[in-house]
Amino acid sequence: MHVSFRRLAAAFLVLANAIGLAPTAHAQYSSDIDIYSGAPASTDLPNVLIILDNTANWNSAFTNEIAALRSAFGGLQPDRFKVGLMMFTESGGGNSNDEGGYVRAGIRTLNADYQGKLGAMLGSLDKLSDKGNKALVGITMEEAYYYFAGKPAVGGANN
């Protein structure tokens, strides 16, 4: 009887811990819902980093992609997101040709002023001089991590 009481007590503790940890475990899988839920507090806006594929296949779709991005940024409700833009490093003139990606527009609150600036910046992109020579997605994602972690850029440091 003594042994079965210990087993029952151990099973109870395991079950109690599992129930106690369930909300925490579930929260990690639903942590991106703040993007789709109601208006967040102005101090807790979601960070959105768009990584634009500006590699060699950009030639044929350049105009359509830029128009779509300008429309998307312009259509967002102001003061609901913090938005930034990252690109692959360019191969055009004046670029270092370092491999990876770099933040072209830092993550900021997307207010009316920043919407206009993003639209103007996207409109000023040049199909040839802002084109990357290859998409090194792994290195670019590492640069995105460095950016969010507040660490210095490596691959895109000279762009």
Tens-digit pLDDT profile for residues 97-107: 567 788 899 99
Give the residue extent of every domain in the chain.
1-31, 40-149
Query: What homologous superfamily does CATH list for 40-149?
Result: von Willebrand factor, type A domain (3.40.50.410)
Which of 20-24, 28-32, 104-108 has the largest mean confidence?
Answer: 104-108
pLDDT of residue 107: 93
Mean pLDDT along residues 107-127: 91
Classify residue 119 as exposed, middle or buried by CB count within 10 Å of its CB (0-12, 13-18, 19+). middle
Q: Are 46 and 35 in contact (CB under 8 A)?
A: yes
Q: What mean pLDDT comes out for the span 89-93?
A: 68
Of the chain, the percentage scoring pLDDT greater than 70 comes to: 60
Phi then psi dihedrals of residue 132, to 5 deg:
-85, 160
Strand order in the sheet with 101-109: 47-52, 82-88, 101-109
When pLDDT is cut at 50, 70 and 90, the band that residue 33 belongs to is: low
| Distance (Å, whole) CA 14 – CA 23 | 15
Name which of 11-25, 46-60, 128-142 the model is least confident about. 11-25
- Looking at every residue in the chain, the average pLDDT score rounds to 75
The answer to whether the CB of 58 falls within 8 A of the CB of 134 is no
Rounded CA-CA distance 148/125 in Å is 24
